Structure 1
Amino acid sequence: MARTWEGPAGRLLLGLAVLLHRTVTDRAAKRRLEHWRNAALRAAYRRGVPVGVLASRTRLTQRWVRTVVTGGKPPPVDEAA
């Protein structure tokens, strides 16, 4: 009786699992993916997407999203009159 993973679909899924494991779990790959995520957050923010929506859709805190979209600087403070 042949093992199910020896078929073409099993080999393809095994290859996909190996690829994902190597690209997602590597420390450098994780940093690269976070860099791409942060760039996408900044671009969406520049296009007018509010911080609350960015935070809820990415399941990050609003404070973290604000830090990312401002480049690590504190957000600008509106002066009270």
Structure 2
Amino acid sequence: MARTWEGVTGRLSLVLAVLLHRTVTGQAAKRRLQHWRDAALRAAYRRGVPVEVIASRTRLTRRRVRTVVAGGKPPPVDGAA
């Protein structure tokens, strides 16, 4: 039974993350809402929502979603290639 609730709460966390992701405006609001969005993405991932589903629903890349759920920042881009 706990597994059922984890799936439901994971999906609800994902819906919240999508809502926050799509309503980001302004610099200060953008930082605040992205922080909340990232927390909701991590909650959805912890409750069993796969990275691919999160990425497709939020329109983020899978790499970015993996970085967010890992709690880190994206690696710097090497321009010397």
TM-score, length of structure 2 as denominator length: 0.58
SS in 1 for 2:71: coil
Q: Distance in 1 between matches of 2:67 and 2:44?
A: 14
Q: Percent identity?
A: 83
Greater RCO (Cα-Cα under 8 Å, separation 6 or more): 2
Aligned-pair Cα RMSD in Å = 2.1
Q: Distance in 2 between matches of 1:70 and 1:53?
A: 16
Report matched runs for 1:42-61 at 5 Å: 42-61=42-61
Q: Distance in 1 between matches of 2:35 and 2:72?
A: 13
Q: Distance in 2 between matches of 1:61 and 1:31?
A: 19
Q: Does 1:69 align with 2:80?
A: no
Moved runs in structure 1, 4+ residues, more than 3 A? none
How far off is 1:26 after superposition? 2.5
Report matched runs for 1:25-40 at 5 Å: 25-40=25-40
User: What is the number of residues matched between the two proteins?
Assistant: 52
SS in 2 for 1:49: coil
Q: Distance in 2 between matches of 1:25 and 1:65?
A: 20
Q: Which runs of 5+ in 2 are unaligned?
A: 1-22, 75-81
Q: Which has more radius of gyration? A: 1
How far off is 1:72 after superposition? 1.0
Q: Which runs of 5+ in 1 are unaligned?
A: 1-22, 75-81
User: Which residue of the partner structure matches residue 20 of structure 2?
Assistant: none
